[in-house]
Chains A and B, each alone.
Chain A
Amino acid sequence: MKAENATPQVILKDVRKSYGQLEVLKGISMSVNRSEIVSIIGPSGSGKSTILRCINALAPVNAGSINVAGIEVNDPKLDERALRRRVGMVFQSYNLFPHRTVLQNIMMAPLQVLKQNRADVEQRARALLAKVRLSEKENAYPGELSGGQQQRVAIARSLCMNPEVMMFDEVTAALDPETVKEVLTTIRDVAAEGMTCILVTHEMRFAREISDTVYFTDQGRIVESNNPKDFFENPQDDRTKAFLDKVL
């Protein structure tokens, strides 16, 4: 997929980010092409979530530049709404809005943020619900769903904004093993449709199977990146080796 359609869609150049004294990202550079599937793996605290949060401007960066689909994220005059409609983000803790039904959760942002036509949004939302196989739950409240179901609704909610890039931050980490599968299937479907995906994950097998490129982060730096086959079978850096020894 990567070779035939190689337009960079997300570009990070020497991104630095500190929280107070603590430098969390120490010069991150990466480039993600249209329709590419990228996985970021690495030990806890290495800055994986922070990379994603910088990409959609939830966390402002201290130095370097980030460009998403032509939008300069580090620009002081950044149009946050324009950026965020292009970049969808799904969190580990689902974060659905508990006072709204499943269907309302999916429709809210397109209606309230993008001010789109209700009939169109509703049609799209229903189609997405069918895609994540939860049509029968459209009138349920988030509190009535299992973790895996909530996470699939969260994915549908992001997709309903028609993003160009989807980011998944350890979206299966809070789920029990049986439900992990259903969420991974949903992500696989999204990826198969040509969506650009950046995922942070601890599911090594899934990362290997789905990714075009795997990045390994440690202490705020990208230590190594490669295609999944070479990355997992023939890691170069000692830190990568040590990490893979521990998790595989």
Chain B
Amino acid sequence: MELIAQFFEELYHRTGWNFSVLYNAWEAKKYVNGIYIALELALWGLLGAMIIGALCCFLRLVRFAPLRWLVTAYIEFFRNTPGLAQLYFLFFGLGSYFQLSTYGQNGEPPFLSPFKFVVIGLSLQYGAFVAEILRAGIEAVPKTTKEAAEALGYGRWAALYHIVMPLAFRISLPALGNNMAQIVKSTAMAYAIAVPEALYVAHEIWTEHFNVIEMMNVVLLTYLGMMWIFTLIVRLIERWLHVPGMGR
């Protein structure tokens, strides 16, 4: 650590390349905290997306048609509009209209912090994708498999729970993994409503030192690293759930 800091301080004095986060302890701490917030956003968003996705997928199987239409409308809306626009809609639109994102008259803190808005935004956006992926997975379970379950006395929901869902989840996993990894990148939109995640902190740093190019490199490599870790975790889950000979 000491060595790295010394090296980059040297580098700055000799060449003018100013990677200030790598030797300035205070900035480093802030930046690490930014990364931490980004990861936190990604994990909460992922959890929310999975819950919303599974719920929507489930609601679409219900026989009551208006409910299915409502869910479909939500999915179409959130899949086909930009994430940043959705966040603005939630934060500046709904948030201020219902006074969820604004300070109270006597300076009471807002009901929902910007951090929570980003989590909600990510959950809604990615939940729509998860719902679609899970549905495709359910449709990929062969009809004959469902029929065999029926012939063994399974009812509709029991077959869904014991047979169709476990199979659909395994079928969906690669697509789910790819999609969920994208959530790491999308956390950067939190910048727009001043959540101090990695990009936001980097911005603060480069406005101070005018080292935009250096900081942009640091930021991009950070995201690359986070994506890499995320992808690795997905691989591990895939291996853990792998069934010998399935999909042959």
> CB within 8 Å of B: which residues of A?
56, 58, 80-81, 84-85, 88-89, 91, 93, 95-99, 108-109, 112-114, 140-145, 154, 157-158, 161
- Bound Cα distance from A65 to B120, whole angstroms: 56
Given A56-B151, A95-B145: A108 touches B162 (CB 8 Å cut-off)? yes
B81 interface residue per 8 A CB criterion: no
Q: B159: shortest Cβ distance to chain A, in Å?
A: 10
CB-nearest residue of chain B relative to A144? B245
Contacts of A93 in B (CB 8 A): 144
- Bound Cα distance from A232 to B170, whole angstroms: 49
Contacts of B246 in A (CB 8 A): 98-99, 141, 143
Q: B138: shortest Cβ distance to chain A, in Å?
A: 14
Given A109-B154, A113-B153: A95 touches B244 (CB 8 Å cut-off)? no
- Bound Cα distance from A89 to B155, whole angstroms: 16
- Bound Cα distance from A113 to B162, whole angstroms: 10
Say whether A143 contacts B245, CB under 8 Å: yes
A-B contacts, 17 listed (Cβ < 8 Å): A58-B147, A81-B153, A81-B155, A91-B147, A91-B148, A93-B144, A95-B144, A96-B148, A108-B162, A113-B152, A113-B154, A140-B244, A142-B245, A143-B243, A143-B244, A143-B247, A157-B152
Contacts of A85 in B (CB 8 A): 153
Chain B interface helix/strand/loop/mixed: helix
- Bound Cα distance from A98 to B242, whole angstroms: 11
**CB-based closest 3 A-B pairs:** A143-B245, A95-B148, A109-B152
Given A141-B246, A144-B245: A91 touches B153 (CB 8 Å cut-off)? no
Contact with A along B215-248 (1 / 0, CB 8 A): 0000000000000000000000000000111111
- Bound Cα distance from A154 to B145, whole angstroms: 12
Contacts of A81 in B (CB 8 A): 153, 155
Say whether A99 contacts B167, CB under 8 Å: yes
Contacts of B162 in A (CB 8 A): 108, 112
Contacts of B142 in A (CB 8 A): 95
Contacts of B149 in A (CB 8 A): 97
Contacts of A99 in B (CB 8 A): 166-167, 170, 243, 246
Contacts of A80 in B (CB 8 A): 153, 155
Say whether A109 contacts B153, CB under 8 Å: yes
- Bound Cα distance from A145 to B238, whole angstroms: 22
Say whether A141 contacts B245, CB under 8 Å: yes
Contacts of A154 in B (CB 8 A): 148
B158 interface residue per 8 A CB criterion: yes
Say whether B153 contacts A58, CB under 8 Å: no
Other-chain residue from B151, B153, B245 in contact with A98 (beta carbon distance below 8 A): B245
- Bound Cα distance from A91 to B243, whole angstroms: 23
Contacts of B76 in A (CB 8 A): none
B150 interface residue per 8 A CB criterion: yes
- Bound Cα distance from A93 to B248, whole angstroms: 14
Contacts of A144 in B (CB 8 A): 244-245
Q: B153: shortest Cβ distance to chain A, in Å?
A: 4
B163 interface residue per 8 A CB criterion: yes
CB-nearest residue of chain A relative to B154? A113
Other-chain residue from A84, A108, A145 in contact with B151 (beta carbon distance below 8 A): A84
Contacts of B154 in A (CB 8 A): 109, 112-113
- Bound Cα distance from A84 to B151, whole angstroms: 6
CB-nearest residue of chain B relative to A92? B144
Say whether A112 contacts B158, CB under 8 Å: yes
Contacts of B245 in A (CB 8 A): 98, 141-145
Given A84-B153, A157-B152: A113 touches B158 (CB 8 Å cut-off)? yes
Other-chain residue from B150, B153, B163, B166 in contact with A114 (beta carbon distance below 8 A): B153
